Every structure is written in C-alpha cells, then in structure tokens.
Amino acid sequence: MDAHSRDALVDLLETPSPSGYETRGQRVWLEYVEQFADDVRTDAYGNAVAVYEGGPDAPEVALAGHADEIGFLVRSIDDDGFVRPGRIGGSDPSVSQGQHVTIHAADGPVEGVIGQTAIHLREEDGESPDVSDLWIDIGAESEDEVKERLEIGDPITFSSTVSWLSETRLAARGIDNRVGTWAAAEGFRTAVENDAEATVYAVSTVQEEVGVKGAQMVGFDLDPDAVVVVDVGHAVDYPSAPSEKTSRMELGAGPALGRGSTNHPVLFEALQSVATDRDVDVQIEALGLGTGTDADGFFTAAGGIPSQVVSVPNRYMHTPVEVIDTDDLEDVATLLGGFASRAAEFAPFAVEI
C-alpha cells in the first residue's frame, strides 16, 4: 500500500462517523475521491457519490461501501451528572464497560468513560449487561453541569484509534466499514486510470448499520446496471471463535466472495474471473438468508439491481478492536478495479432463463 493510500485509510478510520452523523467522515472521503473523479455529489442525507463518465452505450456500475460506524448517543442525563447512552446500530454492551468514549458535542468533543463496578463489588452472576445498564462519567456532578457541555442526541464513539499490530495487521474501531469506502475509492481510481469503458460510480453510503437505509436511497437514485458492495465478514481464526456459525474465513487468505440469496451469479463469476486474471486468492462466504450488508438494500431498489458482496475478513466485529490484514483489503481494491475496468465485457448482468 503506497503512503498516500495508507494515509487516506487512516484518516477515514480516525474520523468519527456514527450512523446518522456521518458528515465528517463523508467530507474526508470526498476530499480523497474528488482528486480523480469527473464529478462528486451528495444527497439530502449525506450519501456521497464519485462519478467517472464512460462511453454513452457502456454499462453503469457502482462500487460501494458504507461510511457509518456503530456507536451510542446521549439518551438522558441523571440528576447526579451521569450520561445514559442509547444504542446506534449493533453496539455491544458486553465490551463497552471500562472504555474511554468521546461525546461529539456542538462546542467540541467531551471525553468520558463508561463506568464499570469494580470486580471486588460485583455479584458473580455472569450476565452480560444491557445498554440500559451503562452510564458515562464525564466528571460532572449535576445534570445542569452536563447540559452546559452537551445535549440530548449528541453522538458517542469509542476513543480507540488505529494501531498497526504488524506490517499488515491493522486494529481500529470502525473498520466496519470505513475499509469498504476506502476499497470503493481505490477500485474507482484504478478504473479511472485504466480508462474504463463503463461509467463507474464510487459510493459511500450512510446508515447501513441501522437498516441499509442509504443504499436504498442511492440505488433508487443511480439505478446502475450492477453494484459490488464491500463490507467486512467474520474471520474465525482466533481462539474460541464459533466457526460452526459461519463460513470459515481467515485473515490473509484473500477477500471473500458471497454466494447465495442477494449475490448475483453473473457478478460472482465475473469477480472470480477477475481474481484469476489478477492472481488474487479468494475465499467463499455462504450467505443464504441475505447478506446483512448494503447489497440487501441495493438489489431490490429500482426494480432490481444485480448486486454482489465482497467481504474483508475481520476479527472481533462490532468491538473497539476490530482487526484486518491489509493485504486482503488491497486485494479487494484490486478486484473492484479489475471488475470496473472490464465491466463492459461482463454485461449484460442478467441470469439466463
């Protein structure tokens, strides 16, 4: 990964972007892609699109990832000055206690910690906490003191940031799914450099973590001939991983191509062809009941859009310490760029009956 691309990835990961509050992250993404796009635009909710204009009779394809991350928001404030959080997306209370958090208030960030009763004082019941059991300590002593610093509805993210565990092993919060928006941008850049015949859109959607809402908006608006969605998938190559619950993906073994349900067989075969051509190893992920990604929003939009998921293997999903191998991520970008560059060859994207 060259230094410019690496810096862009780190910038995306370090910019808070919880669902419904993605503006800052989208601004960072747009500043990157506009360097090589013919046009960039956003819609009323902040979905961001970069455009490369291909030939007039060529297909239109989209490369997409979602900008939002899980988090919390200020739900209420106690009389004694403790902030009670509500959930944004699939935040996991079991890994939240004892964590540093940042509340993104209008006048600037407010630092806090999610409290945890000391082990000496806890009952050994083994039960996981619910989000309603959590409280955030910002050092205040009253409700009025808290209200001078923040408001109900302010978003909250974990304060953890990027750590390089090795040359290619990256840990961060929000890897799900800023790595997808990065890969979409990099695949788009490759297609531009290759003078792709197709019109290519790079898309950074909002509100995937709360119901693939942004993909539904963008799919209807763009109505491309095909879309490849990048998200993360469960790597289960660590102690205690319940590998029987998912396809057996591992870090460093390449991107995972989804099969089943939403995933379109023509696109699956096209990406396999690109993988062979570019000497990229791929894993296969069985997704028979839907993908749980933006592809589920795209593929039924505008009358049905052929859609395919490519997953970056990811350990510890929806925690503050998600881990990927950046070799896998670079291979995803290679697949996307190769597909977009050859899209006219694979069209039309329809099953034969």
State whether 253 and 309 are in the same domain.
Answer: yes
Q: What is the pTM of this model?
A: 0.96
Based on the fold, state whether residues 196 and 263 are members of the same structural domain: yes
Q: Binding-site residues for Zn(2+), please? A: 66, 176, 209, 231, 318
199 and 245 share a domain?
Answer: yes
Nearest 5°: the CA angle 236, 271, 184 is: 75
Among the options 22, 69, 186, 208, which is catalytic? 208
Asked if the model's pLDDT at residue 226 lies above 90, the reply is: yes
The number of beta carbons lying within 10 Å of the beta carbon of residue 68 is 30
Q: Which residue matches tokens 């029987």?
A: 244
Known active-site residue 148: no
CA–CA distance, 117 with 134 (Å, rounded to integer) = 11
What total number of domains does the chain contain?
2
Q: Could you tell me the pLDDT band of residue 128, with boundaries at 50, 70 and 90?
A: confident
Give the pLDDT score at 126. Answer: 67
In the annotated binding site, the residues are: 66, 176, 209, 231, 318
Do 234 and 202 belong to one domain? yes
Q: Judge if 43 and 146 occupy the same domain.
A: no
**Tens digits of residue pLDDT in 269-326:** 999 999 999 999 999 999 999 999 999 999 999 889 999 999 999 999 999 999 999 9
- Name the token pair of 266: 């023509």
Structural domain that includes position 147: 74-158
* 284: in domain: yes
Q: 114-145 burial by CB neighbour count: b if 16+ within 10 A, else e?
A: beeeeeeeeeeeeeeeeeeebbbebebeeeee
User: How many percent of the chain have pLDDT more than 70?
Assistant: 99
- Mark whether 245 and 326 lie in a shared domain: yes
